[in-house]
Structure formats: C-alpha cells, structure tokens
Amino acid sequence: TDGKGLLNVRVIFVIGGPGCGKGTQCARIVETFGYTHLSTGDLLREEVQSESPRSKQLVQIMEKGELIPTRIILELLRVAMVAIPNTKGFIVDGFPREMEQGKEFENEIASCEFVLYFECSPDSMKRRLVARGETSGRVDDNEETIVKRLEMFENETKPVIEYYESQNKVKKILAEGSPDEVFAQVSNIFENLPN
Ligand code: B4P
C-alpha cells in the first residue's frame, strides 16, 4: 500500500449500459492480457447464491433493476481484492454505477487509472438482453426490468462517465459491432498501456 490504506495496484473501471457487452469483453481481456476480472454483478449473484442473510434484499433490488447500496458493493469489492494480492491489475466491471461509488472507492481502496466505457445504443442493448433472457434465468433479464435498468444507466451512471471525462480518464469503445470488432478496439488499448 502507499501508506494511506490504499492498495497500490492497477485498477481499471469498466462501465456501460446493461447489455453493452462489458462482461463478454472482460472475459476476453482476462484470456488475452491476464488481468483479474471482478464484476460487481457477478459478486452480487454469488452473494445471492450463498443464501447469506442479505440475499433476499439483494434479489428484490436486482429484480427491480435498481442499484444495490454502495457500502455493500464496496465491501464485496474490498474482500475480493485483498484476497488476490498478486495480480497484474483489476478490471472492475459494472462499477461505478453512481457517483459516490467511484469517489468512495478511490478514497478508501485504490485509485483508478482509467475508465473503459462501452458505448451502445439503448435499442441494441435491449435486444441483446431480451435474447439472453431466453436462457439466462437471470431475474433481471425481462423486458420490464431491462427498461428500468436502461433508465438507471441514463440517470445515475451517465453523470459518472461525464465526471471521469472531465478528468480525461475515459477510453471509449464503440460497442455496436460484433464481439470480435469490439475486442479489436479493446486490444488496441491494452496493448498500448504503460507497464
Ligand atoms: P450486471 O451484472 O453488471 O449486468 P449487465 O449490466 O447486464 O452486464 P453484463 O456484463 O451481465 O452483460 P453484457 O453487457 O456483457 O448488473 C446486474 C445488476 O446488478 C444491476 O442492474 C444492479 O442491480 C446490480 N449491480 C451490479 N453492479 C452494481 C453496482 N456497482 N452498484 C449497484 N448495483 C449494482 O452482455 C449482455 C448480453 O449481450 C450477453 O448475452 C452477451 O452475450 C451479449 N453480447 C455481448 N457482446 C455482444 C456483441 N458485441 N454483439 C451482440 N451481443 C453481444
């Protein structure tokens, strides 16, 4: 750590609307570049599976397409990160979803080097999630919840992107294309990072 209680490790935030393809691309980043992938959505779904005391509360929020309280998200991330002391860096996927998440993370856990933003139209995102809903079994892959998630993205997460843009920390990916086309852009960024 650097003496402020912060972890001294490369951290990249990955944001985009629901269905933008971030989970898909993060898996490929891990495969090709060897970073550690932490998805707040996956951490939450694991927590729900474990039937912890707060599982029910979490499912209820996710079913509505709303955001989980920040302190729960930060705690899940902190626990996951300290468990992996030796890594090239973390790609933190699905985070920050609202302004206070990013600020608190950077004050308490680690600073973020840059934000990878997957830009995609609402129509494409909706179409992808409806298709995934046919087989995913996810409580939030239904039309009503998808619409709510898209709204949450517009209202809560877009301002986060603007904030990091004002700090020149956003690297934007055009996420409408095929997974291969999108990954070509992603690779170009990762291949050119300083060590
Ligand atoms: P997430 O798990 O982050 O769900 P998501 O936004 O749907 O992203 P995901 O990574 O799963 O999907 P992807 O776009 O890759 O969040 C779920 C919920 O958890 C939130 O609504 C919230 O309640 C809660 N939550 C999570 N993080 C939180 C936080 N930080 N704070 C508060 N609450 C939080 O892929 C979607 C589909 O598109 C897939 O089927 C994929 O195969 C397909 N696809 C991907 N790329 C494609 C491409 N290029 N072309 C066509 N299809 C593609």
Predicted complex ipTM:
0.90
Residue recorded with tokens 């993060």: 26
CA 96 to centroid of ligand 1, rounded, Å? 13
Give, for ligand 1, the residue of 26, 38, 59, 67 to mutate: max count of ligand atoms closer than 8 Å to Cβ. Answer: 67
Cα(69)–Cα(86) distance, rounded to whole angstroms?
Answer: 29
Counting from 1 in the atom list of ligand 1, the atom nearest the Cα of 17 is: 6
pLDDT tens for the chain, 195 residues: list them.
445 668 999 999 999 999 999 999 999 999 999 999 999 999 999 999 999 999 999 999 999 999 999 999 999 999 999 999 999 999 999 999 999 999 999 999 999 999 999 999 999 999 999 999 999 999 999 999 999 999 999 999 999 999 999 999 999 999 999 999 999 999 999 999 998
Instruction: Identify whether the C-beta of residue 101 lies closer than 8 Å to the C-beta of residue 95.
Output: yes
Closest residue to atom 6 of ligand 1, CA basis: 18
In degrees, to the nearest 5, what angle opens at C-alpha 155 toward C-alphas 78 and 111? 30
**Per-residue tokens: 74:** 């930060």
Q: How far is the CA of 139 from the centre of ligand 1 (A)?
A: 12
Which amino acid does the sequence have at 95? F
Largest Cα separation within the chain, whole Å, is 49
